[in-house]
Amino acid sequence: MQYRTLGNDLTVSAVGLGCMGMSHAYGAPADKKEMTELLAQAVDMGYTFFDTAEVYGTAENPHANEELVGRALKPYRKKIVLATKFGIRFDMSSPQVNKPLIPDSRPEIIRASVESSLKRLGSDHIDLYYQHRTDPNVPIEEVAGVMADLIKEGKITHWGLSEATEETIRRAHTVCPVTAIQNRYSMMARWHEALFPVLEELQIGYVAFSPLANGFLSAKYGKDTVFDGLYDYRSMMPQFSEEGIEKNRALLDLLYKMAAEKQTTPAQISLAWMLCKKPYIVPIPGTRKVERLIENARAVEVQLTAEEVESLDQALDEMEMSEVFGGSKVIKNNEK
């Protein structure tokens, strides 16, 4: 494993582990014992960066993922970086599998959230604490002020923003320096590349979630793949539809061609593409399988030249591909 620095001083493995899918959004929750063993194996492989959130769970156990991650990683707490998030809840009245998000970053809610997350994670501090989505009802300066206080109190050491605009990032950073943003980013979702200049100006890291387009870029799924319509968001994602798979043939062909040239896999090319693009990008693919854990970690060994990255970008710009899942809908909080 290789290592990178987010912001000024947060050192993390160059590939992190997104833990959400163990408990949420990718089918019924996985076996806790198996996932505990998987997390231990990740540490043994050199992963030091683990990502969760207070809302990753099920209706029966809304905070299952933080509980799982906290228990599994407790023996390794001093040598890992734990990231979690605050500021949203799900609209449980919705019948959709990907229920809408309701933002809520009132200071008192943040305070309650951080205490609960610390308890579930079994830790006296959180290494990287993200606002999960911007709250239009709470000025970002107010949120940043709470973050500054939590840092002074030692409850968190760094903070970040997820899916925030350049204006929001700049305003937040003025009050309390932002260590990282966590945004969707993959070969199929490149719209946040517009943020690269401001991240470089302010020395902010980019943590890329869904770096394999929810697994599609692993090239492991076909038209005959069936996803659980009750728990699995992929059951309604456009890239996994029959039409989407057909539209994405050129994209998969591109990945297979480059993988053959580099004697690697499509997933590793997808991750290496962003790792070689910017030194401050850290992808956090998720998995429930040890073989995928190994495959993702070894993406750091795949070297692409600047010319190869540019060639891939140009090909992506010009090819037809399907829409890609852009995230759950954010709705208004009527409680304020």
| Pairing, β 180-184 against β 159-162 | parallel
Gap between the Cα atoms of 165 and 11, Å rounded = 25
In 3D space, the residue among 287, 260, 313, 264 whose CA is nearest the CA of residue 45 turns out to be 287
- CA distance readout (Å), 35 to 29, 72, 132, 293, 298: 10, 8, 24, 12, 20
- Find tokens 């090819």 and name the residue: 319
Assess whether 185 carries a catalytic annotation.
no
Active-site choice (56, 129, 130, 206): 56
- CA distance readout (Å), 150 to 18, 77, 234, 257: 24, 20, 36, 48
Maximum CA pair distance of the chain? Answer: 56
266 phi/psi in degrees, rounded to 5 = -55, -40
Could you tell me the strand order of the sheet in which 159-162 lies? 17-18, 49-51, 81-86, 128-131, 159-162, 180-184, 205-209, 281-283
**Half-sphere exposure at residue 272, Cβ-oriented, CA atoms within 13 angstroms:** 25
196 and 171 in contact (C-beta within 8 Å)? no
121 and 72 in contact (C-beta within 8 Å)? no
Q: What angle do CA 22, 25, 31 make, to 5 degrees?
A: 30
| Pairing, β 17-18 against β 88-90 | unpaired
Gap between the Cα atoms of 5 and 254, Å rounded = 30
Q: What burial letters (b/e) apply to 107-138, b meaning 16+ CB within 10 Å?
A: eebbeebbeebbebbbbebbbbbbbbbbbeeb
Catalytic residue ranges: 56
